[in-house]
């Protein structure tokens, strides 16, 4: 059971299974820059990383979800409860909370790992048992209240769980940080969901409203078979689809996509355009440099591009490529990068030119 003397409090973040070393390196980098003497604890395939050794408030406030690339979700870690008696898992949770705090919502969940996913049914029934017990002690409001912290109970096995909390302005709005997007059967490729997710997760509602509008001009580098072009056309943008490969007839049937057989590393628009998106499979540094050229030359105001990361040290490569982009883009830009749920060995970057 959780032992306050051996406190496990700190920070907890979810990631894509297999990317724990990258998230651990990223979290350690940020903590190191802040001079926090913390260490990362994780297991490959577990889909989460704990950052331990500093008070959770300090960590939660100084490392925010929006600055993280490999984290899908981020919580303040309250405690770790092990060797639980399956006959009563409610009392240890109540004890661990120590009568402190008042929560506006309870979420009982699992990380997105092979080992923990089958515990989803248990998580649901445990939530039904815990909720009234928390309310009885005044630890949980009767009705959901987003202004108060949310309590998270995370099942790692039927005898092992983590307790954590989050605040409304520093957590993903989606359970486990995974947006549930419905695949549109008309989309020419599954990749279409990557761009849909990027627009949803990397842009604010105001940015979506102001930066994406009917009649805008876009270029899609590495466009075939046309999923991303199709998403842009769905938003009524005119698209130059650059690829030597064939485009799907469904994409071309939108009437808004012009297929141009050319090399995406050489093609450039004749005049500045609103959007450039790029999903070319190439070394990330080569892509980052070309993307920077687009901004340095003022060829586009906004971009969404992928950096493919087939190498081992993916955090280091990511940091290197984003530094490279920033140093070469020649203008003030807003950059947001994230490994999206639909990203496999890659991350997605949104860039908006500020001037
Ligand atoms: C992952 S696929 C793109 C999928 C596309 N985003 C979609 O939604 O359907 C990568 C594409 O990049 C193209 N590609 C790779 N290198 C390229 C280059 N130098 N110029 C143009 N296209 C390139 C390939 O032909 C391939 O069609």
Give the residue from 231, 256, 257 showing the smallest Cα distance to 242. 257
- Separation CA 87–CA 81 (nearest Å): 15
Give the residue from 341, 339, 292, 333 showing the smallest Cα distance to 315. 339
Which residue has a Cα nearest atom 11 of ligand 1? Answer: 222
End-to-end CA distance of the chain: 55
Q: Is the Cβ atom of 291 under 6 angstroms away from ligand 1? A: no
Ligand 1: distance of its center to the CA of 148 in Å? 45
pLDDT band (50, 70, 90) for residue 100: confident
Q: In this predicted structure, which of 2-11, 82-91, 287-296 has the lowest mean pLDDT?
A: 2-11
pLDDT band (50, 70, 90) for residue 6: very low
Catalytic annotation, pick one of 147, 308, 313, 355: 308
Residue 11 burial class via C-beta count within 10 angstroms: exposed 0-12, middle 13-18, buried 19 and up = buried
Residue 5 clears pLDDT 90, i.e. is over it: no
Residue 258, phi then psi, degrees to nearest 5: -105, 120
- Percentage, residues of the chain above pLDDT 70: 98
Q: Is the Cβ atom of 57 under 6 angstroms away from ligand 1? A: no
- Separation CA 53–CA 38 (nearest Å): 5
- Separation CA 325–CA 290 (nearest Å): 9
Which residue has a Cα nearest atom 25 of ligand 1? Answer: 245
Residue 302, phi then psi, degrees to nearest 5: -140, 150
Q: Is the Cβ atom of 240 under 6 angstroms away from ligand 1? A: no
Pocket test of ligand 1: the residue of 227, 232, 243, 259 to mutate, having most ligand atoms within 8 Å of its CB, is 243
pLDDT band (50, 70, 90) for residue 3: very low
Which residues are paired to 19 by β-bridges?
none
Q: Which residue has the tokens 């406190």?
A: 7
Residue 1 clears pLDDT 50, i.e. is over it: no
Which residues are paired to 155 by β-bridges?
161
Q: Tell me which H or E stretch contains 184.
A: none
pLDDT band (50, 70, 90) for residue 183: confident
Q: Which residue has the tokens 């081992």?
A: 312
Residue 4 clears pLDDT 70, i.e. is over it: no
pLDDT band (50, 70, 90) for residue 24: very high
Q: What is the pLDDT of residues 229-259, one digit of tens each?
A: 999 999 999 999 999 999 999 999 999 999 9
Contact 211, 173 (CB under 8 A): no
Q: In this predicted structure, which of 120-124, 181-185, 337-341 has the lowest mean pLDDT?
A: 181-185
Domains with residue ranges and CATH for the chain:
4-177 (3.30.2300.20), 192-353 (3.40.50.150)
- Separation CA 124–CA 160 (nearest Å): 15
Residue 30 clears pLDDT 70, i.e. is over it: yes
Residue 117 clears pLDDT 50, i.e. is over it: yes
DSSP 9: -
């Amino acid at each position: 059971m959780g032992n306050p003397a051996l406190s496990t409090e700190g920070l907890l973040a979810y990631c894509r299974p297999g990317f724990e070393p990258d998230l651990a390196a990223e979290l350690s980098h940020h903590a190191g820059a802040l001079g926090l003497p913390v260490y990362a604890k994780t297991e490959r395939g577990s889909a989460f990383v704990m950052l331990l050794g500093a008070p959770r408030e300090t960590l939660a406030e100084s490392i925010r979800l929006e600055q993280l690339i490999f984290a899908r979700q981020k919580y303040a870690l309250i405690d770790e409860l092990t060797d639980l008696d399956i006959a009563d898992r409610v009392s240890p949770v109540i004890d661990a909370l120590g009568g402190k705090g008042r929560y506006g919502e309870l979420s009982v969940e699992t990380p997105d790992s092979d080992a923990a996913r089958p515990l989803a049914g248990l998580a649901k029934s445990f939530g039904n048992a815990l909720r009234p017990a928390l309310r009885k002690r005044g630890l949980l409001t009767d009705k959901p209240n987003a202004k108060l912290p949310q309590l998270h109970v995370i099942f790692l096995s039927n005898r092992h769980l983590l307790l954590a909390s989050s605040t409304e302005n520093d957590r993903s709005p989606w359970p486990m940080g995974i947006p549930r997007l419905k695949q549109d059967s008309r989309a020419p490729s599954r990749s279409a969901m990557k761009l849909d997710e990027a627009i949803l997760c990397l842009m604010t509602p105001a940015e979506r409203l102001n930066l994406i509008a009917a009649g805008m001009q876009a270029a899609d580098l590495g466009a075939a078979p046309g999923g991303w072009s199709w998403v842009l056309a769905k938003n009524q943008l005119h698209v130059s689809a650059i690829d030597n490969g064939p485009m799907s007839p469904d994409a071309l049937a939108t009437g808004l996509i012009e297929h141009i057989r050319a090399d995406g590393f050489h093609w450039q628009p004749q005049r500045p355009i609103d959007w450039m998106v790029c999903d070319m499979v190439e070394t990330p540094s080569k892509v980052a440099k070309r993307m920077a050229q687009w901004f340095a030359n003022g060829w586009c105001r906004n971009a969404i591009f992928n950096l493919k990361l087939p190498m081992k040290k993916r955090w280091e490569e990511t940091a290197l490529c984003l530094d490279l982009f920033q140093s070469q883009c020649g203008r003030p830009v807003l950059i947001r990068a994230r490994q999206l749920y639909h990203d496999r060995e890659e991350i997605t970057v949104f860039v908006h030119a500020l001037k």
